[in-house]
């Protein structure tokens, strides 16, 4: 499967100078999406995760599918003020602004092994914030799997010690 056939480049989105990698063509093709989930699952199966945490919003799509495939629980890492119970909040910077993520304080417990899932790794700020949320809860982040890695933005550098798996690298 040639996954790049299912990714469209959108220049100047969400702001001038950003090249957005649109994965909606992949999501709309059931065979391609299935193959993408399989490609994201293979390298992380040996990590023996107990939970999958998907990062809002496209990380929910990949994360829920991976959780189902791995037969694990799914935890959403949401934008602020979207979760109804007490939360941990972590702020971060990204290539076009600042944002925050939250998880419920009871999402994980000590000893849980969490696989973090997102669609794209760019500067690493979002994934690093997700990792901090996992660690604040007393659980351990065991890896990050994603569909696309924008290697020239060096996001891996913010994730030292965390195994990172990507299907496509640009």
Please say whether the beta carbons of 77 and 54 come within 8 A: yes
85 a catalytic residue: no
Q: Which of 52, 70, 37 is nearest to 117 (CA)?
A: 52
- DSSP, collapsed to helix, strand or coil, labels residue 100 as strand
Please say whether the beta carbons of 155 and 124 come within 8 A: yes
95 a catalytic residue: yes
Which of the residues 81, 95, 157, 169 is marked catalytic? 95
Which of the residues 58, 102, 131, 149 is marked catalytic? 58
Instruction: State the DSSP code for 155.
Output: G
Residue 139's CB: how many other CB atoms inside 10 A?
Answer: 22
**CA atoms in the 13 A half-sphere facing the CB of 169:** 10
Catalytic residue annotation: 58, 95
């Amino acid at each position: 499967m040639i996954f790049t056939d299912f990714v469209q480049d959108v220049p100047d989105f969400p702001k001038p100078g950003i090249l957005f990698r649109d994965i909606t063509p992949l999501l709309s093709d059931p065979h391609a999406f299935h193959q993408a989930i399989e490609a994201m699952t293979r390298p992380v199966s040996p990590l023996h995760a107990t939970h999958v945490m998907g990062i809002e919003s496209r990380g929910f799509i990949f994360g829920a599918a991976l959780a189902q495939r791995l037969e694990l629980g799914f935890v959403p890492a949401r934008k602020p003020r979207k979760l109804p119970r007490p939360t941990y909040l972590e702020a971060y910077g990204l290539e076009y602004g600042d944002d925050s993520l939250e998880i419920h304080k009871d999402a994980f417990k000590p000893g849980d092994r969490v696989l973090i899932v997102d669609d794209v790794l760019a500067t690493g700020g979002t994934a690093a914030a997700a990792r901090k949320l996992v660690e604040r809860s007393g659980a351990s982040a065991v890896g990050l799997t994603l569909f696309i890695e924008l290697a020239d933005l060096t996001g891996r550098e913010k994730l030292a010690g965390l195994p990172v798996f990507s299907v496509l690298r640009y």
